[in-house]
Amino acid sequence: MPQKPILVGIAGASASGKSLLAETLVEELKSEHLSVISEDSYYKDQSHLSMDERVLTNYDHPDAIDHNLMLQHLQMLKQGEAIQVPTYDYSIHNRTSETRTVRPSRVVIYEGILLFVNPDVRKQFDLRFYMDTPLDICLIRRLQRDIVSRGRDMESVISQYMETVRPMFQQFIEPSRQHADLIIPRGGKNRIAMDLIKTKINTLIN
């Protein structure tokens, strides 16, 4: 009988601490039981566009993400099947030619800004968490992270933030918090929230 994993979704603004929460759960729970997948892996292929055109894509709009493929993957995991997750390179704003095999571990965590916007996708998650970190803190963290790790400069991070990141947060991401089971204030270092989530996941695993 194939294993049917528990699917966990962590949504919230960019740089709200979604990845940190997911990574901390992997560290603190038995890691062989957990896999983490980023929604960013599902950005649509942009090989047909030049670099100048890719820079203009609105990466915070639901249309930028292949939620059909994500839905198919979530359903496959539920049936105990392994999936081939695309890999994404932020420095070229495109998928690479590689994929990553993810097997249906006991718990599969998806983290991403737009996970709860599409009704078919969000209903696949058994547990839905929303990181409720103040936007000014997210912006400061995003500036640091994107310059250090995603090959960006300050001017491009700020202009993208004003043109798309903030308006799309207000239009799509913030309203999607109503679909969460648990709202997590202060982000990925909220010890009490972390312990509650670990207890819940342990109960479901055992």
Q: How far is the CB of 157 from ligand ADP (least distance, A)?
A: 13
**Interaction residues for ligand LLZGTKA7, span 148-167 (CB under 6 A):** 160, 165
Cβ-closest position to ligand LLZGTKA7: 14
Residue of 5, 6, 7, 17 interacting with ligand ADP (CB under 6 A):
17
Binding residue numbers for ATP: 12-19
14 binds ligand ADP (CB under 6 A): yes
In DSSP terms, 36 is beta-bridged to 109
Q: Does 15 bind ligand LLZGTKA7 (CB under 6 A)?
A: yes
At position 32, the amino acid (one-letter code) is: E
User: At closest approach, how far in Å is the CB of 81 from ligand ADP?
Assistant: 27
Residue 57 in contact with ligand ADP, rule: CB under 6 A: no
Query: Could you say which of 20, 90, 182, 204 contacts ligand LLZGTKA7 (CB under 6 A)?
Result: 90
Enumerate long-range contacts of 61-65, CB under 8 Å, 24 or more apart.
61/164, 61/168, 61/172, 62/114, 62/117, 62/118, 62/172, 65/39, 65/112, 65/114
Token pair recorded at residue 6: 């528990």
- In this structure, how many other beta carbons lie within 10 angstroms of the beta carbon of residue 112? 24
Question: Which residue ranges make up the site for ligand ADP (CB under 6 A)?
Answer: 12, 14-20, 111, 141, 145, 187-189
